[in-house]
Amino acid sequence: MLFDHITIGVLNNEQKSPLFTAAERIEMIREVTAPLAEAAGTRIEVDSFDGLLVDFAKRKRANCIVRGLRAVSDYEYELQMAQMNRHMQPDIETVFLMSADAYSFVSSRLVKEIFFLGRSIGQFVPPIVEARLQAKAHRQNADAERA
Protein backbone atom coordinates (compact mmCIF):
# COMPACT_ATOMS: atom_id res chain seq x y z
CA MET A 1 0.00 0.00 0.00
CA LEU A 2 2.93 2.35 0.56
CA PHE A 3 5.03 1.70 -2.56
CA ASP A 4 4.43 1.08 -6.27
CA HIS A 5 7.64 -0.93 -6.61
CA ILE A 6 9.33 -3.00 -3.93
CA THR A 7 12.68 -4.73 -4.25
CA ILE A 8 13.36 -7.42 -1.66
CA GLY A 9 17.07 -7.97 -1.15
CA VAL A 10 18.33 -11.39 -0.09
CA LEU A 11 21.81 -11.12 1.41
CA ASN A 12 24.48 -13.64 0.47
CA ASN A 13 26.21 -13.64 3.85
CA GLU A 14 29.19 -15.99 4.03
CA GLN A 15 29.49 -15.40 7.79
CA LYS A 16 26.21 -17.25 8.35
CA SER A 17 25.16 -20.72 7.32
CA PRO A 18 21.48 -20.35 6.40
CA LEU A 19 19.27 -23.40 6.06
CA PHE A 20 18.26 -22.37 2.53
CA THR A 21 20.45 -21.05 -0.27
CA ALA A 22 19.87 -17.55 -1.59
CA ALA A 23 18.23 -19.04 -4.70
CA GLU A 24 15.86 -21.12 -2.55
CA ARG A 25 14.97 -18.11 -0.40
CA ILE A 26 14.34 -15.99 -3.51
CA GLU A 27 12.05 -18.66 -4.94
CA MET A 28 10.03 -18.90 -1.71
CA ILE A 29 9.75 -15.11 -1.40
CA ARG A 30 8.52 -14.84 -4.98
CA GLU A 31 5.86 -17.50 -4.36
CA VAL A 32 4.69 -15.91 -1.12
CA THR A 33 4.62 -12.32 -2.41
CA ALA A 34 3.04 -12.91 -5.84
CA PRO A 35 -0.56 -12.85 -4.55
CA LEU A 36 0.22 -9.81 -2.38
CA ALA A 37 1.68 -7.90 -5.32
CA GLU A 38 -1.29 -8.74 -7.50
CA ALA A 39 -3.82 -7.73 -4.85
CA ALA A 40 -2.08 -4.43 -4.12
CA GLY A 41 -1.11 -3.63 -7.70
CA THR A 42 2.53 -3.37 -6.63
CA ARG A 43 5.55 -4.60 -8.57
CA ILE A 44 7.69 -6.83 -6.34
CA GLU A 45 11.19 -7.77 -7.43
CA VAL A 46 13.40 -10.19 -5.50
CA ASP A 47 17.16 -10.19 -5.96
CA SER A 48 20.23 -11.32 -4.05
CA PHE A 49 23.23 -9.19 -3.18
CA ASP A 50 26.62 -9.26 -1.51
CA GLY A 51 28.02 -6.49 0.63
CA LEU A 52 26.19 -3.52 2.07
CA LEU A 53 22.43 -3.09 1.82
CA VAL A 54 22.83 0.62 1.15
CA ASP A 55 25.04 -0.13 -1.88
CA PHE A 56 22.45 -2.63 -3.16
CA ALA A 57 19.73 0.01 -2.70
CA LYS A 58 21.79 2.54 -4.65
CA ARG A 59 22.34 0.06 -7.52
CA LYS A 60 18.59 -0.58 -7.58
CA ARG A 61 17.95 3.19 -7.63
CA ALA A 62 15.92 2.90 -4.43
CA ASN A 63 15.23 5.97 -2.36
CA CYS A 64 13.99 4.11 0.70
CA ILE A 65 15.01 1.10 2.79
CA VAL A 66 12.22 -0.51 4.82
CA ARG A 67 13.20 -2.32 8.00
CA GLY A 68 10.93 -4.21 10.38
CA LEU A 69 10.92 -3.80 14.13
CA ARG A 70 9.62 -6.46 16.50
CA ALA A 71 10.67 -5.03 19.85
CA VAL A 72 12.52 -2.13 21.44
CA SER A 73 15.68 -4.23 21.37
CA ASP A 74 15.54 -4.26 17.54
CA TYR A 75 15.30 -0.47 17.47
CA GLU A 76 18.75 0.24 18.89
CA TYR A 77 20.50 -1.92 16.31
CA GLU A 78 18.32 -0.72 13.43
CA LEU A 79 18.74 2.95 14.38
CA GLN A 80 22.52 2.57 14.41
CA MET A 81 22.39 0.86 11.01
CA ALA A 82 20.07 3.53 9.57
CA GLN A 83 22.35 6.31 10.74
CA MET A 84 25.39 4.63 9.23
CA ASN A 85 23.50 4.10 5.96
CA ARG A 86 22.47 7.77 5.95
CA HIS A 87 26.11 8.74 6.44
CA MET A 88 27.15 6.60 3.45
CA GLN A 89 24.16 7.43 1.21
CA PRO A 90 22.33 10.58 2.42
CA ASP A 91 19.78 10.36 -0.41
CA ILE A 92 18.38 7.01 0.81
CA GLU A 93 15.92 7.13 3.72
CA THR A 94 15.22 4.31 6.15
CA VAL A 95 11.64 3.67 7.21
CA PHE A 96 10.79 1.46 10.18
CA LEU A 97 7.60 -0.58 10.23
CA MET A 98 6.36 -2.36 13.32
CA SER A 99 5.49 -6.04 13.06
CA ALA A 100 1.97 -7.17 13.82
CA ASP A 101 1.55 -7.98 17.50
CA ALA A 102 0.98 -11.63 16.64
CA TYR A 103 4.52 -11.86 15.22
CA SER A 104 6.46 -9.56 17.53
CA PHE A 105 8.21 -12.49 19.24
CA VAL A 106 8.92 -14.55 16.09
CA SER A 107 12.48 -15.01 14.85
CA SER A 108 13.95 -17.42 12.32
CA ARG A 109 16.08 -18.98 15.05
CA LEU A 110 13.04 -19.75 17.22
CA VAL A 111 10.98 -21.02 14.29
CA LYS A 112 13.77 -23.41 13.21
CA GLU A 113 14.22 -24.62 16.78
CA ILE A 114 10.49 -25.32 17.18
CA PHE A 115 10.40 -27.07 13.79
CA PHE A 116 13.40 -29.31 14.45
CA LEU A 117 11.96 -30.26 17.84
CA GLY A 118 8.92 -31.66 16.04
CA ARG A 119 6.29 -28.98 16.48
CA SER A 120 4.18 -27.31 13.79
CA ILE A 121 5.28 -23.87 12.63
CA GLY A 122 2.25 -23.23 10.42
CA GLN A 123 1.13 -20.30 12.54
CA PHE A 124 4.49 -18.55 12.03
CA VAL A 125 5.36 -19.11 8.36
CA PRO A 126 3.51 -19.43 5.04
CA PRO A 127 2.62 -23.00 3.98
CA ILE A 128 5.29 -23.01 1.24
CA VAL A 129 8.01 -22.34 3.82
CA GLU A 130 6.80 -25.09 6.14
CA ALA A 131 6.63 -27.53 3.20
CA ARG A 132 10.16 -26.61 2.10
CA LEU A 133 11.45 -27.08 5.66
CA GLN A 134 9.80 -30.50 5.85
CA ALA A 135 11.31 -31.53 2.51
CA LYS A 136 14.76 -30.31 3.53
CA ALA A 137 14.58 -32.10 6.89
CA HIS A 138 13.46 -35.28 5.14
CA ARG A 139 16.42 -35.07 2.70
CA GLN A 140 18.85 -34.41 5.54
CA ASN A 141 17.52 -37.41 7.49
CA ALA A 142 17.75 -39.63 4.41
CA ASP A 143 21.31 -38.45 3.74
CA ALA A 144 22.29 -39.11 7.36
CA GLU A 145 20.84 -42.63 7.20
CA ARG A 146 22.83 -43.37 4.03
CA ALA A 147 26.08 -42.14 5.58
From the CA atom positions of the chain, what is the Rg in Å?
17
Report which of 12, 5, 95, 90 is spatially closest to residue 54, judged by C-alpha positions: 90
In order of 61, 81, 141, the CA distances from 18 in angstroms are 28, 22, 18
Computed over every residue of the chain, the mean pLDDT equals 91
Residues with Cβ < 8 Å from 113, sequence gap 6 or more?
Answer: none
Please report which confidence band the pLDDT of residue 145 belongs to, taking 50, 70 and 90 as the band edges: confident
Global confidence as pTM: 0.85
pLDDT digits (tens, 9 = 90+) for 84-135: 999 999 999 999 999 998 888 899 889 999 999 999 999 999 999 999 999 9
pLDDT digits (tens, 9 = 90+) for 10-56: 999 878 878 899 999 999 999 999 998 888 788 999 999 999 999 99
What pLDDT score does 19 carry?
A: 87
Mean pLDDT across 57-70? 96
